[in-house]
Chains A and B, each alone.
Chain A
Amino acid sequence: EAGVAQSPRYKIIEKRQSVAFWCNPISGHATLYWYQQILGQGPKLLIQFQNNGVVDDSQLPKDRFSAERLKGVDSTLKIQPAKLEDSAVYLCASSRGGFAVGGETQYFGPGTRLLVL
Chain B
Amino acid sequence: GENVEQHPSTLSVQEGDSAVIKCTYSDSASNYFPWYKQELGKRPQLIIDIRSNVGEKKDQRIAVTLNKTAKHFSLHITETQPEDSAVYFCAATGTASKLTFGTGTRLQVTL
Contact = CB atoms under 8 A, between A and B. Distances in A.
Interface of A: 33, 40-45, 48, 55-56, 58, 91, 100-111
Contacts of A44: 101
Interface of B: 6, 30-32, 34, 36, 42-46, 49, 51, 89, 91, 93-94, 96-104
Given A102-B32, A103-B51, A103-B93, A45 B43 contact: no
A56 B44 contact: no
**Pairs A-B, 10 closest by C-beta atoms:** A102-B93, A42-B101, A103-B32, A102-B97, A108-B43, A108-B44, A101-B97, A42-B89, A45-B98, A110-B43
Contacts of A111: 43
B46 A42 contact: no
Q: Tell me whether chain A's interface is mostly helix, strand or loop, or mixed.
A: loop
Given A42-B91, A111-B43, 11 more contacts: A33-B99, A41-B104, A42-B89, A43-B89, A45-B99, A48-B98, A55-B97, A56-B97, A104-B32, A106-B99, A108-B44
Contacts, number: 56
Contacts of A33: 99
B84 to A, nearest CB: 19
Most chain B CB within a 10 A radius of its CB, from A56, A100, A106, A110: A106
